Structure 1
Amino acid sequence: MYYTYVLYSEDYNKIYVGYSANPNQRLEIHNSKENTGWTRSFQPWKIIHLEEFTTKSEALKREKQLKSSRGRAFIHNLLST
Structure 2
Amino acid sequence: MHFVYILYSVKLNRFYTGYTSNFDNRMEFHRNAESHKFTANAEDWELYLKIECENKSQALSIEKHIKNMKSKTYIENLIKYPEIIDKLLIKYKSDC
Classify the TM-score, shorter chain: 0.7 to 0.9
Q: Which has the higher contact order (CA 8 A, sep 6+)?
A: 1
Structure having the higher strand fraction is 1
Please report the RMSD computed on the Cα atoms of aligned residues, expressed in angstroms.
Answer: 2.2
The answer to whether the 8 Å contact 1:27/1:46 transfers is no
3-state SS of the aligned residue for 1:68?
A: helix
**Number of residue pairs matched?**
80
Q: Which aligned segments of 4 or more residues in structure 1 are displaced greater than 4 angstroms? A: none
Structure 2 portions without partners, runs of 5+: 81-96
Unpaired segments ≥5 residues, structure 1: none
Tell me the residue number matched to 1:26. 26
C-alpha contact (below 8 Å) 1:3/1:20 kept by paired residues: yes
C-alpha deviations, 1:2-61, integer Å up to 9, x for none?
000000011110110000011222111101133142210122211110111121010000
